[in-house]
Amino acid sequence: MGDLVELEVGNVANGGFCVARHQGRVVFVRHTLPGERVRAEITDRTKNFLRADAVEIIEASEDRVVPPCPFSGPGRCGGCDWQHASLAAQRRLKAAVIAEQLERVAGITRTVTVEEVPYPVEAEFVPGPGLGWRTRVQFAVQDGSVGLRKHRSHTIEPIDECLIAHPGVEEMGIETSRWPGASSVEGIVSNATGDRLVVVRERGKRRARVPRLPVPVRLIRGKPEPGSSLPYVREEVSGRMFQVSGSGFWQVHPGAAQLLSDAVLEALEPKPGDIALDLYCGVGLFAAGLGERVGRDGLVVGVESDGQAVRDAKFNLKDLKNVAIERGQVEEVIADLEFGKADGSDRSQTKRGGGHHRGTRVRGADIVVLDPPRSGAGKDVVDQIARLAGRKIAYVSCDPATLARDLGYFSERGWTLESLRGFDAFPMTQHVEVLATLVKG
């Protein structure tokens, strides 16, 4: 630990690292780029590999740039992985990671590109390239001071500004205020409406002191009781408003929700009268677009485990009579579903009594979209989807490794990767959104 070694840097690896070797051992190095020669400090040793930070660049890549953030770099804030790379290079690195994971984990060879996610054209303020996009930022608090955690550490890097945070988050003045008694403070803003939320988590039983902020916000203190009515922000996609309560999930880049919604509809090609499943549906983003496309003779069933997200989804889609939202773990709910398809009053029905049903029962769905958490869907869920789906599956993922694993499972069950798109919804970081479209055969 702490040793300095000189390294010839090789390919990019998943997780914001590049790969090098030292005395026959693999070294995962941060703050460097493929092809560089660096002096690196060893930060961690395991039985099989080392981790290191590049602290001196001996021979630089032509893709290297000066990081725009003063808190970025070895031993500093761990929020951004690629501030030292040009945006074009960042997208090439993310594409390389996706391609490597597909080939290594799933045995799929595919040329991959990662697309820019543009700011909405109607945005009031468009920040510099790759900056100002994160509409939801959770800051850590230590002794009342606000910051972001260092990489693989509980240590906090105090900051007074986050350059990837949306301007609406920065206007709240969270980083420049003191928060005694808090363990974290999350700032949330809607790029569409300007709605603002601040979520304060308290340290132990101590009540946090909330400072006076320069702009009006809705405040959530502590962990709300299940079923409680929470403050929310409103987001807009395709002219529809979505209520997102508390810290509920929504895409953090202002342009990502619209782009992904359009991409999923383009991939699945829903037809009037189709039966569609939206798994891990959140507040109903994909279910909304599908419900409008399949029409009154079709049916969309959304499945979500989070109770607050289910309440939001039902509110957001209350005008779509052909959409039903079921609460529960995906693997449990879809095992129980029976689908009805007859008229505009269609609903799903489960053995546990959720929803309503009129019409002929149909075992299966024409199209399926799933957007699971970072851990992916897993073997059991893939097995059920592979049996239920009839025509196409759209898999939205924020983790290339678990996506590749699940695509391997789908392949074993007779589903083939038809197309794949990457979206740079998280500039300056290693994270990426991927949409994989699968067909039978």
Catalytic residues: 398
CA distance 121 to 272: 31
Q: What is the DSSP string of 172-220?
A: TT-TTS--TTEEEEEEEE-TTT--EEEEEEESTTPPPPPPPPSS--EEE
| The pair of three-digit structure tokens given for residue 129, joined into one six-digit string | 């390239």
Answer for the pair 262, 286: CB distance below 8 angstroms, yes or no.
no
CA distances from 365 to 123, 283, 362, 411, 423 (A): 38, 21, 8, 19, 27
As beta bridge partners, residue 4 has 41
Contacts 24+ apart (CB under 8 A), 218-223: 220/246, 220/247
Residue whose structure tokens are 């693999």: 26
Q: Which residues of 41-50 are buried (b: 16+ CB within 10 A; e: fewer)?
A: bbbeeeeeeb
Phi then psi for residue 239, to 5 deg, are 80, 0
In angstroms and rounded to an integer, the radius of gyration of the C-alpha atoms of the chain is 23
Residue whose structure tokens are 């850590």: 140
Residue whose structure tokens are 């996610």: 117
- What percentage of the chain's residues is helix, strand, coil (to nearest 5)? 20, 35, 45
Q: Please provide the distance, in angstroms rounded to a whole number, between the alpha carbons at the two ends of the chain.
A: 51
The C-alpha angle 400, 406, 411, rounded to 5 degrees, equals 120
| The pair of three-digit structure tokens given for residue 146, joined into one six-digit string | 């606000």
371 has binding-site annotation: yes
Helix (H, G, I), strand (E, B) or coil at 53: strand
Q: Which residues of 22-35 are buried (b: 16+ CB within 10 A; e: fewer)?
A: beeeebbbbbbbbe
Neighbours of 73 (CB within 10 A): 17
Residue whose structure tokens are 């069933």: 301
160 has binding-site annotation: no
232 has binding-site annotation: no
Answer for the pair 245, 230: CB distance below 8 angstroms, yes or no.
yes
Residue ranges of the binding site: 251, 280, 304, 371
Q: What residues are designated binding site for S-adenosyl-L-methionine?
A: 251, 280, 304, 371
